[in-house]
Structures are given as structure tokens and as C-alpha cells.
Amino acid sequence: MRMLAALACSSALLTVALPASAQDGARKRSRDSQNVVREINRGLYLKSNVGVTPYFATNSIGNPVTSPVMTVDLSVGNDIVDQERLSMAVEAQFGQQLHQGPKEDEIPLEAAAGVAPIVSGDIHVFAATATFEVSAYLTRRFSIGARAGGGVSIIPLLMNEQYYNELILAPNGLQTAVAHAGPQPTIRGGATFEYYTKLSHFSVGADVDVLMVIGSLGLGLSPTGYLKYTF
């Protein structure tokens, strides 16, 4: 009888202890899952690009219209599709390009195709564009994608307007300069590469875009590297 009573007590204790243990395990797993730090984040992000943007336009004597110095872009975007092997994002980009114009002996005496040569000195190109990006993940941390979009560019006149008119436009028989006439339609598109670092929220990569500033600078190439923070 004593043995039967002991077995009955043991069974009762096990019956109470097993559900309690299962609940404790579930709570522990829940706490562990909440404490996991996700190394690969997608969603709203900020991105900073640095590189150069050479344009292929030349003047009537074969010299480049501009020589690239530096390109800096700041972007805000959002991953609207977040899958294990695929992501899609929309991005607004605000950029500034710094170029050197041709030297005095590189400026032709007559305009090529009705476009006045840009003056010597520094040239700033301010651009605001929006792009749509699709990326495929070759590994968990590395992706290759394509992006395309457009916007506008502005090239302000940085020298005295009277001198510009007298020394640059008048000898070429022109009244206005297309390059400095105001906002110009801009198209961009190319490839993007991204690597998610083991530091949460941070990734690095490169954008290689082809640019077209319609009406003045024409076709250009913009390879830039970037640092990205995803919230």
C-alpha cells in the first residue's frame, strides 16, 4: 500500500510539473526571440554616396566640357518589398557634383551644336532625382540589383554674368547659355551592389549609374561608394 501511495504521489507531481515546465520553456523561448538582434535590417534608410561623375561631352575642338572632381549624394529610401532573396526599394536622392571647366586655351572660338562652352573655373551641378530599385540576394548578406529613375538638375552660373556674356557668349554668337538656363530633365539608371555588415543596421555598397542631363551636359557615368543605415 505504501508503494502504491508513493507511486500515486509521484504521478501527481509529474502531472503538475510537466505543464509548468513546458510553460517556463515557452516563456524562455519568447524572451529569447525578443532579445535577438537582427543583423540584416530592411525598411526606412538613409544613405550617403561619394564618388565622381565624368561627362562625355566635348566642345568643338575635342576638349572635355568638364573635368570631374567629386560627387556627393544624400538619399532617403524605403524597402517596400522585403523577402529572403528579393527586395524592392524607392529612393529620393539629392546630390551635388563639383567639376572644373575647360582652361582658357581649351575654349573654342565658336560654339558646337549651339551649346556654349562652360566657363573655366568650378562648376556645381545640383540634382534631385527619384529611383526605383530591385535587388536579388546571392547570399544572405550580399545583393546585386538594378535601379532607374529621373528628376532635374540645376547648374548655377558662378561667375559675373556680365563677364560671362561678354567673354563667353558674345564671341560664340549666343544670347543665353543652355547649361545655366534653369532646371534640366535628368535620367539615371544602373547597377547597385550591397553588403550587409555584421554591425546591425549598417551596410556598405556601390552604385554605378549612367546619367543623362538632357540639353547641356549630356551623357555621364557616376560610380560612387556608399554607407547606408537602415532603421
Task: Say which range, 5-9, 49-53, 145-149, has the weakest mean pLDDT.
Answer: 5-9
Residue 38: pLDDT band with limits 50, 70, 90 = low
pLDDT in tens, 120-150: 668 899 999 999 999 999 999 999 999 999 9
Question: What pLDDT, on a 0 to 100 scale, did the predictor assign at position 178?
Answer: 74
CA–CA dist 134, 228 (Å, integer): 16
Residue 110: pLDDT band with limits 50, 70, 90 = low
Average pLDDT, the chain: 81
Better-scored residue on pLDDT, 2 or 148:
148
Question: What pLDDT, on a 0 to 100 scale, did the predictor assign at position 205?
Answer: 98
> How far lies 186's CA from each of 88, 212, 217, in Å?
22, 6, 10
Res. 20: pLDDT tops 60: no
CA–CA dist 28, 21 (Å, integer): 10
Looking at domain 40-230, its CATH architecture is: Beta Barrel (2.40)
Burial profile 31-68: b = 16 or more Cβ within 10 angstroms, e = fewer: eeeeeeeeebbbeebebebebbbbbebebeeeebbbbb
CB atoms within 10 A of CB 106: 16
Better-scored residue on pLDDT, 96 or 166:
96
pLDDT in tens, 144-198: 999 999 999 999 988 888 888 777 777 666 666 777 878 999 999 999 999 999 9
Better-scored residue on pLDDT, 103 or 223:
223
